A and B are shown apart, each in its own frame.
Chain A
Amino acid sequence: MRDVDELLRALDGPRAPIAAPPWPRRRPRWVYAAGALAAAAAALVAVGFGGTSLPGIRGFAGDTPTFDLRMVVERGGVAVRVAGGSLHTGERVLFRAAATSPTLGVVWVEGPRGAESIASVEVDGVPRDVGDGGGLAAYRFDRPGRYVFHLSSAVGQCVDCPTIPVEVR
């Protein structure tokens, strides 16, 4: 039998999508998804999460960036900060990220389905909501279990990265 590398190179499958994805249209930073997410986003500002209540993060140029991750759960249009503890299936969480120096990070979760990427984010010393031109990135719990949210340079890699563990019932 051929060696594993040769076998993997020989393993073929369906063709790639013909067309490249369209480039995201430029939108203002604060574009919210409709409905409850929009209310939660407004509530982020109301509870001071969107303002200057988070301390600025500082660091020395040239250091390996240190990440900071905050999470809120949307409940009845109000955003409640989550630092751990229990949540419920069906609930959604939103994220805010920062780092000691400009870098690229990814918010990901280790849960019942293994490691899942939630969103990539360009971060710096100014805490910013995690999302893209399509709105805020939200993660909805569809099954009970233990979930640990991370912000690091790559999915599955966490060396002293910030984590937020929750138990979902």
Chain B
Amino acid sequence: MVDDESLMTRVMANDRAAYELLYVRWREPIFRFLLRRTGGRSLAEEAHQETWLRVYRFRHRFDRSRLFRSWVFAIAANCGRDSFRPEPELFVLPLAPGEPHDLRDRLVQGLGALDPDERRLLLLAGEGFEGPEIASMLGIGAGAVRMRLSRARERLRAALGGSDA
């Protein structure tokens, strides 16, 4: 299988097929990230389209020494509006035993109560990005990432009305 970075090198040479292959690989994780970031479908779709247009428009800025994954998530984290319009009924959250039946709604509302930066940080951490990489993706200091991430988790925990199991 051709790796993402090689595909992106081909996109830089205006290879549309390579772009579409990257899209197929990454459309779901990026869209899921944006759904959680915006709360609902219409804003997520708008930001998703903008993300992929930026992948094309700024293709020559891709640093081949970086992972494509980091680059595309950085674009997704920074484009589109920071508005949050919750549509909890759109989401699915399988419940573990003992979890409240309205946990999905509380989680979505809790995300909306965070400020846009905190939400963005928390969701990037949820995608497996570490603090220094998030700092680089968002152009902020690693210390600020740590502090804001900690605060975001605390606030979301409080919104869910409990402590971690």
Which A residues are closer than 8 A to B by beta carbons?
A: 1-5, 7-17, 20-21, 23-24, 104, 106, 113-117, 120, 122, 132, 153-157
Contacts and interface: CB of A to CB of B under 8 A. Distances in A.
A155 B78 contact: yes
A10 B32 contact: no
A86 to B, nearest CB: 25
B61 to A, nearest CB: 7
A10 B94 contact: yes
Chain B interface category by residue count: 35 or more
Contacts of B98: 1
B72 interface: no
Contact of A1 (B23, B31, B162): B162
A70 to B, nearest CB: 23
A8 B36 CA distance: 8
A21 B92 contact: no
A12 B116 contact: no
Nearest to A15: B28
A158 to B, nearest CB: 11
Q: Which 8 A-B pairs have the closest CB atoms?
A: A16-B31, A20-B23, A16-B27, A3-B164, A115-B82, A8-B126, A116-B81, A13-B35
Contact of B139 (A7, A117, A157): A157
Interface in B31-71: 31-32, 35-36, 41, 45, 48-50, 52-54, 56-58, 61
Interface of B: 16, 19-20, 23, 27-28, 30-32, 35-36, 41, 45, 48-50, 52-54, 56-58, 61, 78-83, 90-94, 96, 98-100, 103-104, 107-108, 111, 116-117, 122-123, 125-126, 138-140, 153, 156-157, 160, 162, 164-165
Nearest to B81: A116
For chain B, what secondary structure do more than half of its interface residues adopt (helix, strand, loop), or is it mixed? helix
Contacts of A116: 81-83
B160 A16 contact: no
Contacts of A24: 53, 56-57
Given A8-B122, A116-B81, A154 B90 contact: no
Nearest to A23: B56
B52 A12 contact: no
A104 B81 contact: no
Contacts of B41: 13-14
B138 A154 contact: yes
B56 A12 contact: no
Contacts of B27: 16-17, 20
A117 B81 contact: yes
